[in-house]
Protein backbone atom coordinates (compact mmCIF):
# COMPACT_ATOMS: atom_id res chain seq x y z
CA UNK A 1 0.00 0.00 0.00
CA UNK A 2 1.69 3.26 1.09
CA UNK A 3 4.93 4.54 2.52
CA UNK A 4 4.66 7.43 4.99
CA UNK A 5 8.06 8.93 5.86
CA UNK A 6 8.30 10.63 9.26
CA UNK A 7 11.11 13.15 9.71
CA UNK A 8 12.00 15.23 12.73
CA UNK A 9 13.05 18.72 13.50
CA UNK A 10 15.12 18.20 16.62
CA UNK A 11 14.51 15.03 18.69
CA UNK A 12 10.88 15.66 19.56
CA UNK A 13 10.03 12.01 20.33
CA UNK A 14 9.97 10.85 16.71
CA UNK A 15 10.46 7.13 17.33
CA UNK A 16 7.79 7.11 20.02
CA UNK A 17 5.41 9.00 17.72
CA UNK A 18 5.87 6.56 14.81
CA UNK A 19 5.53 3.58 17.14
CA UNK A 20 2.44 4.98 18.90
CA UNK A 21 0.73 5.79 15.59
CA UNK A 22 1.49 2.32 14.20
CA UNK A 23 0.09 0.71 17.35
CA UNK A 24 -3.09 2.73 16.90
CA UNK A 25 -3.43 2.16 13.12
CA UNK A 26 -7.02 1.34 12.11
CA UNK A 27 -7.57 -2.35 12.57
CA UNK A 28 -8.83 -2.98 9.01
CA UNK A 29 -5.44 -1.89 7.58
CA UNK A 30 -2.02 -3.18 8.54
CA UNK A 31 0.89 -0.94 9.50
CA UNK A 32 4.54 -1.77 9.99
CA UNK A 33 7.27 0.50 11.32
CA UNK A 34 10.52 0.74 9.35
CA UNK A 35 13.51 2.18 11.19
CA UNK A 36 15.81 3.99 8.77
CA UNK A 37 17.12 6.72 11.08
CA UNK A 38 20.79 7.17 10.10
CA UNK A 39 21.55 8.10 13.73
CA UNK A 40 20.88 4.44 14.56
CA UNK A 41 17.91 2.26 15.42
CA UNK A 42 16.13 2.40 18.76
CA UNK A 43 13.41 -0.23 18.87
CA UNK A 44 15.53 -3.39 19.06
CA UNK A 45 17.59 -1.88 21.86
CA UNK A 46 14.49 -0.48 23.58
CA UNK A 47 12.77 -3.88 23.53
CA UNK A 48 15.96 -5.80 24.27
CA UNK A 49 15.92 -7.68 20.95
CA UNK A 50 18.81 -8.84 18.80
CA UNK A 51 19.10 -6.55 15.77
CA UNK A 52 18.58 -9.47 13.39
CA UNK A 53 16.43 -10.02 11.49
CA UNK A 54 16.31 -6.38 10.50
CA UNK A 55 17.63 -3.71 8.17
CA UNK A 56 21.22 -4.97 8.05
CA UNK A 57 20.46 -8.44 6.80
CA UNK A 58 17.69 -7.06 4.58
CA UNK A 59 20.46 -5.08 2.85
CA UNK A 60 22.45 -8.28 2.34
CA UNK A 61 19.39 -10.09 1.01
CA UNK A 62 18.34 -7.19 -1.19
CA UNK A 63 21.51 -6.41 -3.11
CA UNK A 64 19.87 -7.41 -6.36
CA UNK A 65 16.39 -6.16 -5.61
CA UNK A 66 13.73 -6.49 -2.98
CA UNK A 67 10.31 -8.03 -3.10
CA UNK A 68 7.61 -7.48 -0.46
CA UNK A 69 7.98 -11.01 0.95
CA UNK A 70 11.68 -10.48 1.58
CA UNK A 71 10.95 -7.24 3.43
CA UNK A 72 8.27 -8.91 5.54
CA UNK A 73 10.56 -11.84 6.35
CA UNK A 74 12.96 -9.33 7.94
CA UNK A 75 10.30 -7.74 10.12
CA UNK A 76 9.40 -8.86 13.62
CA UNK A 77 6.67 -8.30 16.14
CA UNK A 78 7.58 -6.05 19.06
CA UNK A 79 6.21 -6.67 22.54
CA UNK A 80 3.73 -3.83 21.89
CA UNK A 81 2.25 -5.94 19.07
CA UNK A 82 3.64 -3.68 16.34
CA UNK A 83 5.45 -5.25 13.39
CA UNK A 84 8.78 -3.55 12.75
CA UNK A 85 11.79 -3.61 10.49
CA UNK A 86 14.36 -2.76 13.15
CA UNK A 87 17.72 -1.10 12.57
CA UNK A 88 21.02 -1.64 14.37
CA UNK A 89 22.03 1.01 16.92
CA UNK A 90 25.21 1.70 14.96
CA UNK A 91 24.81 4.75 12.67
CA UNK A 92 27.53 3.35 10.38
CA UNK A 93 25.61 0.11 9.90
CA UNK A 94 22.36 1.91 9.17
CA UNK A 95 24.16 4.17 6.72
CA UNK A 96 25.81 1.31 4.88
CA UNK A 97 22.52 -0.65 4.71
CA UNK A 98 20.79 2.40 3.22
CA UNK A 99 23.64 2.87 0.74
CA UNK A 100 23.41 -0.76 -0.41
CA UNK A 101 19.64 -0.65 -0.83
CA UNK A 102 19.38 2.83 -2.38
CA UNK A 103 16.06 3.66 -4.00
CA UNK A 104 15.03 -0.01 -3.97
CA UNK A 105 14.15 0.17 -0.27
CA UNK A 106 11.62 2.99 -0.57
CA UNK A 107 10.06 1.39 -3.64
CA UNK A 108 9.70 -1.93 -1.81
CA UNK A 109 8.28 -0.30 1.33
CA UNK A 110 5.73 1.58 -0.78
CA UNK A 111 4.41 -1.53 -2.44
CA UNK A 112 3.78 -4.18 0.20
CA UNK A 113 0.27 -5.46 -0.50
CA UNK A 114 -2.22 -4.53 2.21
CA UNK A 115 0.46 -2.90 4.35
CA UNK A 116 1.16 0.74 5.13
CA UNK A 117 4.75 1.42 6.16
CA UNK A 118 5.53 4.16 8.68
CA UNK A 119 9.23 4.96 8.32
CA UNK A 120 11.22 6.60 11.12
CA UNK A 121 13.68 8.59 9.02
CA UNK A 122 15.28 10.60 11.83
CA UNK A 123 16.27 14.26 11.66
CA UNK A 124 16.16 16.31 8.51
CA UNK A 125 19.64 16.75 7.09
CA UNK A 126 20.38 17.55 3.48
CA UNK A 127 23.06 14.86 3.38
CA UNK A 128 21.11 12.34 5.43
CA UNK A 129 21.38 8.85 3.92
CA UNK A 130 17.62 8.53 4.51
CA UNK A 131 16.80 11.47 2.23
CA UNK A 132 16.49 9.30 -0.87
CA UNK A 133 13.73 7.34 0.84
CA UNK A 134 12.10 10.56 2.10
CA UNK A 135 12.13 12.10 -1.37
CA UNK A 136 10.65 8.96 -2.89
CA UNK A 137 7.85 8.65 -0.32
CA UNK A 138 4.37 9.70 -1.46
CA UNK A 139 3.63 11.15 2.00
CA UNK A 140 5.98 12.88 4.42
CA UNK A 141 5.16 13.95 7.99
CA UNK A 142 7.37 16.52 9.71
CA UNK A 143 7.33 15.99 13.48
CA UNK A 144 8.03 19.12 15.50
CA UNK A 145 8.12 20.27 19.12
CA UNK A 146 5.69 23.22 19.28
CA UNK A 147 8.13 25.65 20.90
CA UNK A 148 9.90 28.70 19.47
CA UNK A 149 13.14 26.78 19.09
CA UNK A 150 11.37 23.71 17.70
CA UNK A 151 9.69 25.81 15.01
CA UNK A 152 12.85 27.81 14.25
CA UNK A 153 14.84 24.63 13.81
CA UNK A 154 12.19 23.05 11.59
CA UNK A 155 11.99 26.25 9.52
CA UNK A 156 15.73 26.31 9.03
CA UNK A 157 15.83 22.67 7.98
CA UNK A 158 12.78 22.68 5.70
CA UNK A 159 14.74 23.88 2.72
CA UNK A 160 16.86 20.74 3.07
CA UNK A 161 13.66 18.77 2.57
CA UNK A 162 12.41 20.61 -0.53
CA UNK A 163 9.35 18.37 -0.61
CA UNK A 164 6.65 19.67 -2.97
CA UNK A 165 3.61 21.14 -1.22
CA UNK A 166 0.85 18.58 -0.98
CA UNK A 167 3.15 15.74 0.09
CA UNK A 168 4.27 17.25 3.39
CA UNK A 169 2.23 17.72 6.56
CA UNK A 170 2.99 18.65 10.14
CA UNK A 171 2.58 16.72 13.38
CA UNK A 172 3.42 18.30 16.72
CA UNK A 173 4.36 16.41 19.84
CA UNK A 174 2.42 18.22 22.56
CA UNK A 175 0.37 21.38 22.13
CA UNK A 176 2.31 23.73 24.37
CA UNK A 177 3.32 26.43 24.34
CA UNK A 178 1.95 26.74 20.79
CA UNK A 179 -1.09 24.87 19.47
CA UNK A 180 -0.58 22.87 16.27
CA UNK A 181 -2.58 25.17 14.00
CA UNK A 182 -0.35 28.10 15.00
CA UNK A 183 2.76 26.03 14.28
CA UNK A 184 1.21 25.00 10.97
CA UNK A 185 0.67 28.64 10.04
CA UNK A 186 4.23 29.54 11.02
CA UNK A 187 5.65 26.73 8.89
CA UNK A 188 2.99 27.08 6.19
CA UNK A 189 2.17 23.41 6.40
CA UNK A 190 -1.11 21.54 6.72
CA UNK A 191 -1.54 20.00 10.16
CA UNK A 192 -2.21 16.33 10.68
CA UNK A 193 -2.60 16.69 14.45
CA UNK A 194 -0.93 16.88 17.83
CA UNK A 195 0.31 13.80 19.63
CA UNK A 196 0.01 14.14 23.40
CA UNK A 197 3.10 14.76 25.46
CA UNK A 198 2.34 11.99 27.92
CA UNK A 199 5.30 10.57 29.87
CA UNK A 200 3.22 7.82 31.50
CA UNK A 201 1.74 6.77 28.15
CA UNK A 202 5.16 6.82 26.48
CA UNK A 203 6.71 4.80 29.30
CA UNK A 204 3.89 2.27 29.03
CA UNK A 205 4.30 1.96 25.24
CA UNK A 206 8.06 1.67 25.52
CA UNK A 207 7.83 -0.92 28.31
CA UNK A 208 6.38 -3.40 25.82
CA UNK A 209 3.28 -4.08 27.88
CA UNK A 210 -0.07 -4.38 26.12
CA UNK A 211 -1.31 -0.94 25.02
CA UNK A 212 -3.65 0.70 27.55
CA UNK A 213 -5.80 3.76 27.35
CA UNK A 214 -3.72 6.91 27.61
CA UNK A 215 -3.64 10.37 26.09
CA UNK A 216 -0.78 9.18 23.90
CA UNK A 217 -2.87 6.32 22.57
CA UNK A 218 -6.02 8.43 22.18
CA UNK A 219 -4.24 11.09 20.16
CA UNK A 220 -2.26 8.50 18.17
CA UNK A 221 -5.57 6.86 17.19
CA UNK A 222 -6.97 10.17 15.93
CA UNK A 223 -3.78 10.89 13.95
CA UNK A 224 -3.66 7.37 12.49
CA UNK A 225 -7.22 7.70 11.22
CA UNK A 226 -6.52 11.15 9.86
CA UNK A 227 -3.51 9.89 7.92
CA UNK A 228 -5.34 6.83 6.63
CA UNK A 229 -7.96 9.10 5.10
CA UNK A 230 -5.33 10.20 2.59
CA UNK A 231 -3.81 6.84 1.75
CA UNK A 232 -5.03 4.68 -1.11
CA UNK A 233 -8.16 2.74 -0.31
CA UNK A 234 -8.13 -1.03 0.00
CA UNK A 235 -8.82 -3.02 -3.15
CA UNK A 236 -12.32 -3.11 -4.68
CA UNK A 237 -13.17 -6.24 -2.72
CA UNK A 238 -11.45 -5.09 0.44
CA UNK A 239 -8.17 -6.78 -0.49
CA UNK A 240 -5.63 -6.13 2.19
CA UNK A 241 -8.23 -5.65 4.89
CA UNK A 242 -7.75 -7.30 8.24
CA UNK A 243 -10.73 -7.89 10.55
CA UNK A 244 -12.05 -4.84 12.43
CA UNK A 245 -11.36 -5.41 16.11
CA UNK A 246 -9.85 -2.24 17.59
CA UNK A 247 -11.66 -1.39 20.82
CA UNK A 248 -9.92 2.00 20.91
CA UNK A 249 -11.27 3.09 17.54
CA UNK A 250 -12.53 6.65 17.80
CA UNK A 251 -14.27 8.95 15.35
CA UNK A 252 -12.23 11.24 13.15
CA UNK A 253 -11.05 14.41 14.83
CA UNK A 254 -12.80 17.44 13.53
CA UNK A 255 -10.98 20.59 12.58
CA UNK A 256 -7.76 18.95 11.39
CA UNK A 257 -7.12 20.03 7.86
CA UNK A 258 -4.73 18.12 5.65
CA UNK A 259 -4.39 18.84 1.96
CA UNK A 260 -2.55 15.75 0.81
CA UNK A 261 -3.92 14.88 -2.59
CA UNK A 262 -6.09 11.83 -2.09
CA UNK A 263 -4.94 8.84 -4.19
CA UNK A 264 -8.36 7.20 -3.88
N1 LIG B 1 4.86 11.90 23.41
C2 LIG B 1 5.72 11.71 24.42
N3 LIG B 1 5.34 11.96 25.69
C4 LIG B 1 6.20 11.78 26.71
N5 LIG B 1 7.46 11.32 26.58
C6 LIG B 1 7.89 11.05 25.35
C7 LIG B 1 7.06 11.24 24.20
N8 LIG B 1 7.77 10.90 23.10
C9 LIG B 1 8.97 10.52 23.54
N10 LIG B 1 9.06 10.60 24.88
C11 LIG B 1 10.22 10.22 25.68
O12 LIG B 1 11.37 10.87 25.16
C13 LIG B 1 12.46 9.95 25.05
C14 LIG B 1 12.99 9.94 23.63
O15 LIG B 1 11.95 9.51 22.78
P16 LIG B 1 12.20 8.99 21.30
O17 LIG B 1 13.18 7.88 21.30
O18 LIG B 1 10.87 8.74 20.73
O19 LIG B 1 12.84 10.31 20.65
P20 LIG B 1 13.52 10.55 19.24
O21 LIG B 1 13.09 11.91 18.79
O22 LIG B 1 13.23 9.43 18.33
O23 LIG B 1 15.05 10.61 19.66
P24 LIG B 1 16.38 10.27 18.80
O25 LIG B 1 16.85 11.58 18.24
O26 LIG B 1 17.31 9.70 19.82
O27 LIG B 1 16.02 9.28 17.72
C28 LIG B 1 11.94 8.60 25.52
O29 LIG B 1 12.39 8.38 26.84
C30 LIG B 1 10.45 8.71 25.52
O31 LIG B 1 9.81 8.01 26.57
MG1 LIG C 1 14.44 8.13 17.32
Partner residues linked to 170 by β-bridges = 142, 191
Q: Counting ligands in written order, which one lies closest to the CA of residue 143?
A: 1
Q: Is 64 within a domain?
A: no
**Ligand 1 pocket test, candidate residues 16, 45, 175, most atoms within 8 A of CB:** 16
Give pLDDT tens digits along the chain (264 positions): 799 999 998 878 999 999 999 999 998 889 999 999 999 999 999 999 998 999 999 999 998 789 999 999 999 999 888 999 999 999 999 999 999 999 999 999 999 998 999 999 999 888 999 999 999 999 999 999 999 999 999 998 887 788 877 899 999 999 999 999 999 999 999 999 999 999 999 999 998 776 779 999 999 999 999 999 878 765 444 444 443 333 333 222 222 334 444 443
Q: Is 108 within a domain?
A: no
Give the Cα separation of 192 and 225 in Å (integer): 10
Nearest CA to ligand 1 atom 17: 15
Q: Is 188 within a domain?
A: yes
Q: Is 182 within a domain?
A: yes
Nearest CA to ligand 1 atom 31: 202
Domain that includes residue 191, residue range: 3-36+116-228
Give the Cα separation of 181 and 26 in Å (integer): 24
Buried residues in 226-237 as b, exposed as e (16+ CB within 10 A): bbbbbbeeeeee
The tally of domains found in the chain comes to 1
Amino acid sequence: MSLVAFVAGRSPGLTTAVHAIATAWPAHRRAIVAEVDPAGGTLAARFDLAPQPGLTDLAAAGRRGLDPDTVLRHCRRLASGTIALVAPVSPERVTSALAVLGSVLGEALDSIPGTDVLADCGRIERRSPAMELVHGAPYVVLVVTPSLEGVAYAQARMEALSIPAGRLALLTVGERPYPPDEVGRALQLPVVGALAWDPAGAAQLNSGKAPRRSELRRTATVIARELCGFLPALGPHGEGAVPESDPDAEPYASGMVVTYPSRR
